[in-house]
Amino acid sequence: MGSKRISLLWSYIAEGPLFRYLLIMPAAAFMALLILYPVLKGIYTSFHYVNLAQPWRGTPFVGLANYTALMKDPDFWLSFKNSILYTLGAVASQFLVGFGAALVLNRHFRGRGVVRGIVLLPWVMPGVLAALMWSWMYNAQVGVINDILLRLHLINKPIAWLANPDTAMLAVIGVAMWKGFPFFTVMLLAGLQSIPQELYEAASIDGASAWQRFRYITLPLMKEIILITTTLRIIGAFNYADLVYVLTEGGPAKATLTLPVFSFLKAYQYFDFGYSAAISVIMMLVLFAFTLLYIQLMAVHKE
């Protein structure tokens, strides 16, 4: 009899008008408790003095003190500049390499699926692993990159890529380029495949060169997907700390200190949670402004 009652209960639950809400409830609860609440708490923390290294000072409300301190902190402005440099360098190089690879893979050949899979590998690997492999290749004494450049006589003595403030950012962007280009390849390849082949054939008959077909067919039709993918990647790269944190920890001499790393180190090494939260709130505002601009751009483009 018990089983009958359970099945009655089950059919009441599974047929009732509340079923849709019951299904979504666990996810909604998770998201409210673990995303919405933490975000609000993070913003709240940024207006307080919270330093776990000095618990006796309590967590008093300090208004905008963390923000005004940030505005006067040269490290903040340096990491702001570095973040923009890193994001632009990483996304631009990922885009160029990724688009190039997509154009090559757009031709039909046997085993294309396998090649596309291989190309995606850097994208799915942990950032730590990418950083580990590349720091070994960048190694100043026995790194394979120095060895190749020496053999090609492009440099005459080994370079300490990650330890030299002049080359560290370039080296980090080099790793980001390798790790991130597959995203563009896959996304842009999907875009390229949706362009009707007849357009190219018609243009060829009219005597358009390969460059003209690229310039007047491919690029205009890919405009939207290029905008979407670059925006997603800009948001992603701006927030991504793993590579820099493992490769250089923001060094040498803060040459690669980006905002997420700066914020993370403030919390993790100095326990200065209020200050760290203020940095990430500013990052969020920068991204909001950027996204609004992007939506505006899209709207103009649609008209």
Spatial distance between the Cα atoms of 266 and 262, rounded to a whole number of angstroms: 6
Residue 196-215 contact track with another protein, rule CB under 8 A, x = bound: --------------------
Whether 39 and 277 have beta carbons less than 8 Å apart is answered as no
Q: Which amino acid is at 110?
A: R
Instruction: Report in angstroms the alpha-carbon separations of 179 from 53, 261, 301.
Output: 36, 18, 30
CA distances from 74 to 82, 86, 154, 206, 219 (A): 12, 18, 36, 59, 41
Least Cβ distance, residue 199 to another protein (angstroms): 21
* Contact status: 298 vs another protein (CB under 8 A): no
Fill in the DSSP letter of residue 35: I
Nearer to another protein, 35 or 64 (CB): 35
Site for another protein in 50-79 (CB under 8 A): none
Q: Please state, in angstroms and rounded to a whole number, the distance separating the CA atoms of residues 144 and 150.
A: 10
**Contacting another protein (CB under 8 A), which of 6, 9, 34, 293?**
34
Residues of this chain, 212-241, that bind another protein according to CB under 8 A? 225, 228-229, 232, 235, 238-239, 241
Q: Which of 70, 105, 168, 234 binds another protein (CB under 8 A)?
A: 105
Nearer to another protein, 2 or 26 (CB): 26
Nearest-approach distance from CB 191 to another protein, in angstroms:
8
Nearer to another protein, 117 or 220 (CB): 117
The one among 6, 9, 19, 53 contacting another protein by CB under 8 A: 19
Q: Which two tokens stand for residue 112?
A: 């294309």
Size of residue set near another protein by CB under 8 A: 91
Q: Quick one: which of 271, 290, 267 has its CA closest to 279?
A: 267
Closest to another protein by CB, 190 vs 253, is 190
Q: Which of 173, 187, 222, 234 is in the footprint of another protein by CB under 8 A?
A: 187
Binding residue (CB under 8 A) for another protein from 171, 172, 173, 277: 277
Q: Which of 9, 31, 289, 295 binds another protein (CB under 8 A)?
A: 31
H helix runs in 161-272, sequence order: 168-193, 197-205, 210-213, 219-239, 242-247, 259-268
Q: Are 242 and 127 in contact (CB under 8 A)?
A: yes
Which residue in the block uniquely carries the two structure tokens 């100095």?
270
Does 41 contact another protein by CB under 8 A?
Answer: yes
Q: Which two tokens stand for residue 124?
A: 């799915």
Is the bond into 26 cis (omega within 30 degrees of 0)? no
Report the nearest approach of another protein to the CB of residue 79 (Å): 12
The residues near 116 (Cβ < 8 Å, ≥ 6 apart) are 105, 185, 186, 189
Report which of 34, 59, 32 is spatially closest to residue 48, judged by C-alpha positions.
59
Looking at the Cβ atoms of 82 and 229, the one nearer to another protein is: 229
Query: Which of 9, 21, 55, 212 touches another protein by CB under 8 A?
Result: 21
Find the binder of another protein among 90, 159, 222, 246 (CB under 8 A).
246
The answer to the question of residue 101 lying near another protein (CB under 8 A) is yes
Question: Within positions 110 to 169, which residues make up the interface with another protein, using CB under 8 A?
Answer: 113, 115-122, 124-137, 139, 141-144, 147
